[in-house]
Amino acid sequence: MAAATATASRAESRAALGRYPRTGRLVSCFAPVALSLALGLWGITREGTMWRDESVTYQVAHRSLSETVALLHHADAVHGLYYLFMHGLFAVWEGGLITLRLPSVLATALTAGLVGITALRLTARPVAGLLSGLVFAVTPEVQMYAQEGRSYAMVCALVAVATYLFVTLMQRTSKARWCCYALAVLTASLLHEFALLALLAHGITLYRFRPPARIRRHFAVSVAGVLIGLLPLAVLSMSQSSQVSWIGGPTLREWFEIAGVALAASACAAYLSRPGRQADVTRLAFPLAIVPSATLLLAAVHEPMYVDRYVLYTNIGWALLVGTTVTCLTDDAGKTALLQNRKIRVSAAVGVVAALVTAMLPVTLQMRTPDSRKDDVTAISTEVERLSDVGDAVLFAPARRREWMLSYPHQFTGLTDVALKDEPATSGTLQGVELAPGDIRERLAHVDRIIVLSDPKGQPVDSNAEETVKREVLDRDFAECRRVELKGGQVTLYARSACPPVIPDAMPDHGNTPSPAATD
């Protein structure tokens, strides 16, 4: 009986969908796309700066194909497809920060449009499609990763494609569309393996929709195809699992944010599940909004895995729930005596929108500044250039902070990387191979001045032998002359004997700092 009712409901939705003018469908798609594009292009260079993850993308994308393949055997296999894509893009257009971030901007705009037409498909309400797409576009987390030179926005777009195809397949099955669905999920998972969790969410939706057996069989075949296609990458990336050893549990603030989103999504789902509402939206959107994050949080019993950007696509489910809920609430409000007057309804709507825009403006502005990221590679490189002289040594403590140099090598010209044995590109690694502890000690014995790049104060220090030797020699044989603390790191000048004259403080002019493209 429940299956028959759901089938009848979907049939009514398809019939209603066809009754709406084409303009309604276009607005549901292209208004969110336009807003997302505008927000993504606004301040896309972030004052000419980038942070360390983007720096890794930039420098790996500029390696040769053979060097990139060699790297993926040792590290970052999970990002291999994305690096190869960016390598091809930079080969076509050397546009610096624009080339680095534009794919994410376009992917986010595509996702906003897909969210809109998915909501329209489920509800047959253009206004629900419009609001859902707009909610996705303005969500702070989405805005942040729309301007990120990493794969997360592209993963989100592919999950949105798969989700739209999934909805159409629940209404009308097709082997060709099932192949496209499986290909979209597989490509998303090859860009980042945790996209696979979207399949789990879709599986729960499938169970709740209770479609015919042939649809369940097609879904099972699609899942099997994705798992087989992903298996080689999964095996390789498991051997590189030490790369995510830095992940810890969510902070208290993050727990509050996770709980707040979960409660809001639950409230929307409960409201939409009432008779006469949009239960189909709940069946699809609630698992997509909750299940991937919950799965990663539960995985912490074995090993911490949760990072919000890994499941950015959960915002698709969130936007569908919120946009559709607002649509239904507006309908209910229009039935009250007070809001039956059109002028009052319009004024109330304008007031609510103005209040939301005002509340979000500080966050929106902050995301387009260097302070919005964990560190500022550009500022750190500029400070190195200001503090150093030709012939100085440079030391990265820990060694992984060598990534701060790789996208701005011109600002390290004339400095000797005293601990480096093999360059990153030639050694097939992200940060290069360093000398043995005894050799590092020997090289430091012949240095008079040294620039040290390190993590901020209060961060845990690495306990391996190489890093221990660096700290011992600096503490015993050198005097600290100048320390500059910057966003996410610090630059310190050490001297063996007399310190140089104090250099007057000067804030680097990030707006005039050469873009990465200028370093080639």
In angstroms, rounded to a whole number, what is the distance separating the alpha carbons of residues 412 and 393? 10
In a domain, 54, yes or no: no
Residue type, 9: S
Q: Do 411 and 267 reside in the same domain of the chain? A: no
Q: Do β-strands 433-434 and 479-486 pair in parallel, antiparallel, or remain unpaired?
A: unpaired
Q: Do 124 and 261 reside in the same domain of the chain? A: yes
482 by Cβ neighbours in 10 Å (0-12 / 13-18 / 19+) ranks as: middle
In a domain, 391, yes or no: yes
446 by Cβ neighbours in 10 Å (0-12 / 13-18 / 19+) ranks as: exposed
Of 58, 130, 84, the C-alpha closest to 349 is 130
Residue-level pLDDT, tens digit, the chain, 520 residues = 444 444 544 554 444 444 556 777 788 899 999 999 999 999 999 999 999 999 999 999 999 999 999 999 988 999 999 999 999 999 999 999 999 999 999 999 999 999 999 999 999 889 999 999 999 999 999 999 999 999 999 999 999 999 999 999 988 888 999 999 999 999 999 999 999 999 999 999 999 988 899 999 999 999 999 999 999 999 998 888 777 767 777 888 888 988 999 999 999 999 999 887 888 999 999 999 999 999 999 987 788 888 999 999 999 999 999 999 999 988 887 777 666 676 776 677 777 778 887 888 899 999 999 999 999 999 999 999 999 999 999 999 999 999 899 888 889 999 999 999 999 999 999 989 999 999 999 999 999 999 999 999 888 888 899 999 999 999 999 999 999 999 999 999 999 988 877 655 544 444 444 445 433 3
Residue type, 69: V
Q: Do 297 and 354 reside in the same domain of the chain? A: no
Cβ contact 159:311 at 8 Å? no
Q: Do 169 and 307 reside in the same domain of the chain? A: yes
In angstroms, rounded to a whole number, what is the distance separating the alpha carbons of residues 327 and 389? 63
Which neighbouring-strand residues pair with 485? 490
Read off the CATH number of the domain in which 452 is found: 3.40.50
Q: Which of 308, 335, 362 is the last residue before a domain boundary?
A: 335
Residue type, 77: A
In angstroms, rounded to a whole number, what is the distance separating the alpha carbons of residues 52 and 488? 10
Q: Which of 277, 312, 335 is the last residue before a domain boundary?
A: 335
Q: Do 355 and 387 reside in the same domain of the chain? A: no
Q: Which residues contact 255 (CB under 8 A, 6 or more apart)?
A: none
Q: Do 233 and 212 reside in the same domain of the chain? A: yes
Q: Do 283 and 228 reside in the same domain of the chain? A: yes
In angstroms, rounded to a whole number, what is the distance separating the alpha carbons of residues 64 and 503? 40
Cβ contact 153:102 at 8 Å? no
In a domain, 51, yes or no: no
Q: Do 175 and 322 reside in the same domain of the chain? A: yes
In a domain, 59, yes or no: no
Cβ contact 432:423 at 8 Å? yes
Q: Do 476 and 500 reside in the same domain of the chain? A: yes
Q: Do 300 and 430 reside in the same domain of the chain? A: no
Q: Which domain covers residue 462, as residue numbers? A: 377-519
Could you give the C-alpha distances from 10 to 101, 107, 211, 278, 421, in angstroms and in order? 39, 29, 11, 11, 64
Of 425, 421, 430, the C-alpha closest to 64 is 425
Q: Do 362 and 388 reside in the same domain of the chain? A: no
Question: Tokens 């200001």 correspond to what residue?
Answer: 386
Cβ contact 309:145 at 8 Å? yes
In a domain, 48, yes or no: no
Q: Do β-strands 433-434 and 420-422 pair in parallel, antiparallel, or remain unpaired?
A: antiparallel
In a domain, 302, yes or no: yes
In a domain, 486, yes or no: yes
Maximal C-alpha separation, the chain:
87
In angstroms, rounded to a whole number, what is the distance separating the alpha carbons of residues 181 and 229? 14
Cβ contact 192:151 at 8 Å? yes
Helix 2-19 to helix 97-123 angle, to the nearest 10 degrees? 110
CB atoms within 10 A of CB 97: 21
Cβ contact 147:104 at 8 Å? yes
How many domains does the chain divide into? 3
Q: Do 262 and 348 reside in the same domain of the chain? A: no
Could you give the C-alpha distances from 165 to 160, 321, 366, in angstroms and in order? 9, 18, 36
> pTM of the predicted model, to two decimals?
0.90
In a domain, 409, yes or no: yes
CB atoms within 10 A of CB 302: 7
